[in-house]
Amino acid sequence: MVAARSAVPLLADFLQPSVIWHERAVFASPPPRPVTGAILGEGLGFHHDGAEDALRLETPAGGGLDILFDGFAGSYVSISIDLPQHHPGALSAGSVLGMVCDFGETVPEGAWCRLNLREGPSLSRPPGVFRRDGGRLASEFDLSECRGRAIAAGWVDLLLPPAASGRLGIAALDLYLRPLAGF
């Protein structure tokens, strides 16, 4: 992940002036073989349950990631995004974690994400609220259920619909943390 503090058009209608932090994923050159667990960049992992030779990963010149399917028979494909470790204590009961994924034209049917929080030996998955807007999938997770528990680490799974053939492109992927709105 790379810190991005400047105005970002992708998130212009999601971010508020009170954003605690915002980061954009930077996809590195993909591995020659898309094995499950492959590293796609700092804090980014690629996972699937199909044959490696039925997938190809590419990073377009403008950034992002393209996943090419050719005879893929697996049941899932996902990208894991580690939560930043350089904001200690920022994940708290008074905040909301959000993710916006820009797929370009349209959000693929069946795309969704899940937040995983490691709290000591336990793993929790707070429920999320999802919004599709053109080619963007926006997700927010209310961390209020974490009240009183220390969050050791966390990650977001972006779960993508597998296809037998075709291309799925991700133009941009952003994470942000904002305070929970007060009433």
How do residues 45-93 score in pLDDT, each as one tens digit? 999 999 999 999 999 988 899 999 999 999 999 999 998 876 656 677 7
Taking the domains of the chain in order of start, what are their residue ranges?
2-179
Per-state percent for the chain, helix, strand, coil, to nearest 5? 5, 45, 50
Predicted model pTM:
0.83
Q: Who has greater pLDDT, 87 or 170?
A: 170
Which SS3 state, helix, strand or coil, does residue 2 take? strand
pLDDT at position 6 is 31
Classify domain 2-179 at the CATH class level. Answer: mainly beta
180's CB contacts (< 8 A; 6+ apart) are 93, 94, 95, 96, 142, 143, 144
pLDDT at 2 over 70: no
Q: Please compute Rg for the chain using Cα positions.
A: 16
Give percent above pLDDT 90 in the chain: 44
pLDDT at 98 over 80: yes
pLDDT at position 50 is 93
113 — pLDDT class (breaks 50, 70, 90): very high
14 — pLDDT class (breaks 50, 70, 90): low
